[in-house]
Amino acid sequence: RAAAGVRLRRLSNGIAINTMRSSSEPDAVALRLSAPGGRAHAAAGSPGVLLLATATMLQGGTVGAFSREEVELYCIAHLIELDMEVTEEAVRWDLHCPVGAGSSSLAAALQLVHVLLTDFRWESDALERSLALYAAQYDARFKSMEQAANVALLQAVWGHDARFLEPSPDLLRANAVDVHTLSAALRDCM
């Protein structure tokens, strides 16, 4: 690790983090929060639940007393970029923001993570937007030769284990997923 420039640090609350300087962006920080489990952790009978949970969080964005618009303005004011993804082995949150003299963006990004983890409000309309966006992306995925090859590769590796394949939008709707199911699935993984 030391040869790669990665340093392990422990925060005052006991959480261990890895840090590394980047010469390509000396005035920025990239944070990756990773919760082990991912698709492998998901229940076999509910494919796509973690994928839909992270998409719903991104579509929602309402925390505590703050609306989605207020959270977006907060991110814009502090130049915070946030993305969430589910891989086979983890749920990942990637944040990127500037640092340096006079910048409070890192503290703002950590505060954003805190309220997302402790005070996120799951909303049914965000779930509906996520399902609509997923359906549009799903259709586009199978029109691409590259994506079709990727699906064939995943099927060869994982067989027909639905946890690792992209479920159809109809299957997601048929599973009667609601915001409580999504919240519980993500909480179990985190």
**What averages of pLDDT result for each successive group of 10 residues across the chain (190 residues)?**
70 73 81 82 74 89 91 94 89 88 84 90 92 87 80 80 77 78 81
In this structure, CATH architecture of domain 2-189:
2-Layer Sandwich (3.30)
The pLDDT of residue 90: 86
Output the pTM of the full model. 0.79
Whether 69 and 99 have beta carbons less than 8 Å apart is answered as no
SS3 72: helix
Closest CA to 75 of 53, 41, 98, 51: 98
The pLDDT of residue 3: 59
The pLDDT of residue 45: 66
Give me the phi and psi of 103, to 5 degrees please: -90, 135
